[in-house]
Amino acid sequence: MPSIDVNYWAVLVAAAFNMALGAFWYSPNGFGKQWSKLTGVSNDDMKARGNTGMALSLAGALIMAFVLAHFVRYAGSVSFADGLVNGFWLWTAFIAVTMAGMYVFEGRSWKLWQINAGYYLVVLLVTGGLLAAWR
């Protein structure tokens, strides 16, 4: 595996974007009310799980950004548009189809799939673009 230079500032900004988008996406001003209704998870449930959930989400955002930084470099991406394309294909291959299969077997709503998979689509598009353009 070739060695690459990782821009750790870009990784941190990408992870921060991921967390900020998630805070909005799943808030009452975003899709939070619909998500809560579809999952049966209340605001009180969220608050009770908040610290652990936020810690895992932050760790996941950092890992996702770090691995995506490698992927966009391996792919030779040098522009925001290149990174968008990388993010889209990664989302399609690893998020969309994986979540779709799980949702079918678990009997979950396609509306819930749209909310959750849509979040990751935006995350991977924007962070892929950011990480490709910010060398």
**How does pLDDT run across 98-127, given as a tens digit for each residue?**
999 999 999 999 999 999 999 999 999 999
Task: Determine, yes or no, domain membership for 1.
Answer: no
Please identify which residue in the block is written with the tokens 């595996």: 1
Both tokens assigned to 116: 């959750």
Residue 83 pLDDT > 70, yes or no?
yes
Element (H, E) at 65: helix 50-74
Q: Are the CB atoms for 80 and 97 separated by under 8 Å?
A: no
Please identify which residue in the block is written with the tokens 């490709």: 132
Domain housing 70: 8-133
pTM of the model: 0.93
Residue 22 pLDDT > 70, yes or no?
yes
Task: Determine, yes or no, domain membership for 48.
Answer: yes
Predicted local distance difference test score (pLDDT) of residue 42 = 85
If one counts the domains in the chain, the total is: 1
Task: Determine, yes or no, domain membership for 90.
Answer: yes
Both tokens assigned to 70: 């490698």
Residue 1 pLDDT > 70, yes or no?
no
Looking at per-residue pLDDT, the higher value among 76 and 42 belongs to 76
pLDDT tens, 32-71?
Answer: 999 999 999 988 888 888 789 899 999 999 999 999 999 9
Predicted local distance difference test score (pLDDT) of residue 128 = 98
Task: Determine, yes or no, domain membership for 57.
Answer: yes
Predicted local distance difference test score (pLDDT) of residue 19 = 97
Task: Determine, yes or no, domain membership for 3.
Answer: no
Task: Determine, yes or no, domain membership for 25.
Answer: yes
Task: Determine, yes or no, domain membership for 55.
Answer: yes
84-112 per-residue burial string, b: 16 or more CB within 10 A, e: under 16: bbbbeebbeeebbeebeeebeeeebeeeb
* Residue 132 pLDDT grade (very low, low, confident, very high; cuts 50, 70, 90): very high
Task: Determine, yes or no, domain membership for 38.
Answer: yes
Task: Report, as an integer, the average pLDDT of 66-90.
Answer: 96
